[in-house]
Structure 1
Amino acid sequence: MQEFTRSIATEMRAKSEDHARNYMSAVAGLTIWTVNIACLPLERSSVLSGHNIDAYIRRGVKDLSPVTLRNLRSRLLRVSAELVDYNPRRRDAGKKSRYENFVPYAPKELTRFRNQGSTRSTAVRRHNWMTLLALGAGCGLNTTEIVLLPTSAVQSTGDGVRVTVAGKRPRMVVCLAAWEEDLRQLVSSPHAEHFLFSKAERPTYPNAYVTRFLSTVANDGAAFQVERLRSTWIVNHIDAGTPVFALMHALGVKSLSTLERLEQYAAAPGDDVLTAAFRGARS
């Protein structure tokens, strides 16, 4: 692998003004991950493919900021463009990553958003702000599901609050205990007559509408992103040890890709926990 990496860095030095060492470091990490983790052959067509580079950035790089990740990805794609005829218009070129859209929120950030909710300019804005926050961070719903959720879909019982999601991914979601009281108050609000998210008519494009709503209502403050609230909910469940397939069902997904992109944000269990789990599995 060392010779493979050195040859790429040497060729790039002749093609680019960047120092060869910059490429050496970037390609070395990609190469090691490709061979040892992804189990792909040590060939340029495999190592430097757009799909492989994106997979490496998503799952193989830890503890880097979103800006650093974007720079690393750009550098690797530049190598691919020069050495393996990378074509950005090809379907396998890899899509532009949106890492910042999936980073979970810290507890103090959620607290700040809660506090912001009580200071919005109108009662309806306060209600809708908290509806997005409670259903995103408390139930893991996406924007469209929140906007289209009937008030009757939220049921409160003695053992918690359950949300029944219809549409393309029908399922039942149990709300996190920390958000139960918020949902109970929202359901009893006069603004939640038919739908929990209050609006005379359902918007044709829910995502665009909610983005504009949050930008306007934030009033130059920090607005949250529903997708990041959903990520926060997912990571909370991963850290709590919620069974993977039960979590996938609650999310309405059929593949592990949604969980894989959040692996770097989940708490790593200790060796003793892992040992006990693997030893205790029923044979």
Structure 2
Amino acid sequence: MTNYKPQRSHPEWTRIEAFVKDACSLAAPKTTYTASLLLTVTSAFALWCVADQGWPLQADVIFSRQAIDMYCSQENPDRSEGTRRNYRAILMRVSEVVAPEEHPDAMTPLSRKRIAEPYSNEEMDEFSLWAVGQNSTEKRRRAMLMLAFCAGAGLKSSDVSTIYPDDVVVDNLGITITVGGTNPRLVPLEGQWETWMIAILAQVPRDIPIWGKPNRTLDGKLLSSFTQYTVGQRPRGDRLRATWSVDHLRAGTRIKELMRALGVDKFESLPRYLEFVDALDDDCYRTELRGEVRP
């Protein structure tokens, strides 16, 4: 245990090393976990608390149930449910040993379905610059297409690779995208992305998907596999899709039509999306509901 160092060096490690190793040394005899596993999980957690959150290096703060709850529920949302449950169990066991008084509050159930957080307008502006700033024609086209499909039409990663040029129709009402597969639907493209889409359609062959031939068969990983080789701060497909949903809710798009574009019969995540929609002030609230409601 004394020779342990994190696989990735961090400038804060020297400051927290003794704290982490002391905690794991106390907990190890009272747990079934190996010292290596305790150190790996606890060191990553402590670095997050100190370096990312700026919390003081105190056992009752770092190993509080609230801190563990935040870390396991929010940090690195790409982790599987099973991994997060295991991390929570390990950290809770350490906490019970080194901070036994810090267990008053109920934990957030990990089974609660979460949603990706939407991007701000400023972040979306940055991603537009990210797309046009890629270092090859193909990367620029795919980056622009990712933003248009996900932030402009709410498409999933698994949808993107299935769209052919003939699935995109341009007419006097704008642009529509026909999505096939197991969730077929017709989705209007937001107007702000139409110029990009028209330019892309003029560049691609008609007999293959607009995205091109993907390098992997797992369509659900298509976008993340692409963005990892791009330059700059890259967007996430699920957050772009959340941005599209929240933007429409903020604009007052009818829920039924939004569900139609999403291709869903139930909008179970609606309450969590509405958390990102500002409430009206009292005057606007009254005006909104005072108007005629019958068509």
TM-score (norm 2): 0.61
Q: How many percent identity over aligned positions?
A: 26
Tell me which of 229, 242, 247 is aligned to 2:258: 247
- Structure 1 stretches of at least 4 aligned residues deviating more than 4 Å after TM superposition: 96-99
**2:276 aligned partner:** 265
**2:7 aligned partner:** none
C-alpha distance in 2 between matches for 1:268 and 1:94: 28
Deviations 1:32-54 (A, max 9, x none): xxxxxxxxxxxxxxxxxxxxxx9
The answer to whether residue 145 in structure 2 is matched with residue 145 in structure 1 is no
Cα separation, partners in 2 of 1:122 and 1:192, compared to 1, 3 Å:
farther
C-alpha distance in 2 between matches for 1:247 and 1:214: 27
The answer to whether residue 141 in structure 2 is matched with residue 130 in structure 1 is no
Per-residue deviation, 1:202: 7.1
Per-residue deviation, 1:172: 0.9
Deviations 1:231-260 (A, max 9, x none): 111111101111111111111112122322
**1:230 aligned partner:** 241
Q: Answer whether contact 2:204 2:210 (CA < 8 A) is retained.
A: no
Determine helix, strand or coil for the equivalent of 2:197: helix
Per-residue deviation, 1:156: 0.7
Unaligned runs of 5+ in 2: 1-58, 76-83, 97-102
Q: Answer whether contact 1:149 1:197 (CA < 8 A) is retained.
A: yes
C-alpha distance in 1 between matches for 2:273 and 2:240: 13
Superposed, which structure 2 residues align to 1:1-283 within 5 Å?
A: 66=74, 94-95=110-111, 102-190=116-204, 193-199=207-213, 203-217=216-230, 219=231, 221-279=232-290, 280-282=292-294
Per-residue deviation, 1:98: 5.2
Determine helix, strand or coil for the equivalent of 2:269: helix
Q: Answer whether contact 1:138 1:233 (CA < 8 A) is retained.
A: yes
Larger radius of gyration: 2
Per-residue deviation, 1:176: 0.8
C-alpha distance in 1 between matches for 2:191 and 2:287: 28
C-alpha distance in 1 between matches for 2:205 and 2:141: 7
Per-residue deviation, 1:192: 6.2
Per-residue deviation, 1:182: 0.9
Per-residue deviation, 1:117: 1.5
Aligned-pair RMSD on alpha carbons?
3.7
User: 2:262 is matched by which residue type in structure 1?
Assistant: L
C-alpha distance in 1 between matches for 2:130 and 2:215: 25
Per-residue deviation, 1:155: 0.6
C-alpha distance in 2 between matches for 1:148 and 1:202: 14
Per-residue deviation, 1:126: 1.2
Per-residue deviation, 1:277: 3.8
Q: Answer whether contact 2:158 2:222 (CA < 8 A) is retained.
A: no
Deviations 1:107-163 (A, max 9, x none): 121111111222212211111111111111111111111111111111111121111
Per-residue deviation, 1:278: 3.4
User: 2:239 is matched by which residue type in structure 1?
Assistant: R
Unaligned runs of 5+ in 1: 1-16, 27-53, 58-64
C-alpha distance in 1 between matches for 2:171 and 2:215: 28
Size of the aligned set, in residue pairs, is 210
Q: Answer whether contact 1:124 1:198 (CA < 8 A) is retained.
A: no
